[in-house]
Amino acid sequence: MQSADWPALHLASGHVYARSVLVIVGVVLVFCLLAACAPRQFAPVEDRSPAQRPTTPAAQPQPAPPVYEVRRGDTLYSISFRYGLDWRRVADWNGIQAPYTIRPGQELRLSEPPAVAATRPAPASSGQPGSRPTPPTASPRPRASTPASEVESSPPAASQPAPASSASTASSTTRNVAGIDWQWPTDGSVQRLFDPAATRRGLGIAGRQGQPVLAAADGEVVYSGTALIGYGELVIIKHSESMLSAYGHNSRRLVEEGDRVRRGQPIAEMGMNERDDEILHFEIRRNGQAEDPLRFLPHRN
């Protein structure tokens, strides 16, 4: 090749290189334009925050059936307690007299008979504002019904209340409400307050499994057993014709039906609830209706 041809070859190579650069630049521009016009797609975002549980309304107490068939272990008091009824009215509706014995298979009416409700006289008005009707004569003081497998022919002589044990650890401070001296049934902090909409309406007092559970006031044990679902080992004490207290979720019961107990006397040992919490479930009932125990117990500092 002659030397005169080198400039022409060099010029041709430069043109090819420039053309290649222009082609590459054009392709890049076209790609950028296509990318800019394409719809944007974002990567999915995963929500790792804790799931919010739906809020469920508090369960309502179980309504009483029109007729209840007595089961083994039931007493008139435990049946009335289960459905929030006054045991005196249940006894009256069914014509049950002292010592209020009931038997397995017996059917009890748990509502007022229609004939009684229809013939009940209206209370007489004295014509004076603010006057109250004369209260009915108190019914004879009943004993707890005997175990379902036994028939009590005659009530035994009332035993004397046992003296309070030195094992009592709850505060001895008392508060008089409804004519009764009340004290705390055990040591510990209140983990669950009274909720009138709950199925089991009382206080949840936290403690240690096995620690003493004490009678909150003087009275008579009218139920000691496990027949009430949701209460575990349960003790019920009658303090007057209208006042009861209940102690649930025990690991061991120390008293039997018919025992007389004094305020501060150990009646059970604390156990655990269905969630394995070491806790005492404590209730106070007036005329069959649960009331806030904090209105009866002495104030704590």
- Which pLDDT band holds residue 200 (cuts at 50, 70, 90)? confident
Residue 70 confidence (pLDDT) above 50: yes
Phi-psi region of 213 (alpha: psi -120 to 50; beta: other; left: phi over 0): beta
CB 225 within 8 A of CB 234: yes
Q: What does pLDDT average to over the chain?
A: 75
The pLDDT value given to residue 164: 41
Residues in the chain: 301
290 vs 94: CA distance, rounded Å: 23
- Domains of the chain from N-terminus onward: 67-111 (3.10.350.10), 175-295 (2.70.70.10)
Q: What are phi and psi of 96, to 5 degrees?
A: -90, 125
Residue 17 confidence (pLDDT) above 50: yes
Lowest mean per-residue pLDDT among 82-86, 185-189, 237-241: 82-86
Distance of CA 209 to the CA centre of its chain: 19
In sequence order, what are the residues at sequence separation of 6 or more whose Cβ sits closer than 8 angstroms to the Cβ of residue 214? Answer: 168, 170, 183, 184, 185, 186, 263, 264, 265, 266, 267
Residue 194 confidence (pLDDT) above 60: yes
Mean pLDDT of 108-128: 63
281 vs 248: CA distance, rounded Å: 5
DSSP state of 239: -
Q: What is the pLDDT of residues 130-174, one digit of tens each?
A: 444 444 444 444 444 444 333 333 333 344 444 444 344 465 699
Cross-strand partners of 247: 235, 282
Q: What is the pLDDT of residues 251-260, one digit of tens each?
A: 999 999 999 9
253 vs 247: CA distance, rounded Å: 10
Distance of CA 149 to the CA centre of its chain: 31
Between the alpha carbon of residue 159 and those of residues 20, 153, 219, 246, the distances in Å are 115, 18, 12, 21
Which pair of tokens denotes residue 20? 């290649």
The pLDDT value given to residue 147: 41
pTM above 0.75, yes or no: no
259 vs 274: CA distance, rounded Å: 28
More confident residue, 68 or 262: 262
Q: Calculate what percentage of the chain has a pLDDT beyond 90.
A: 40
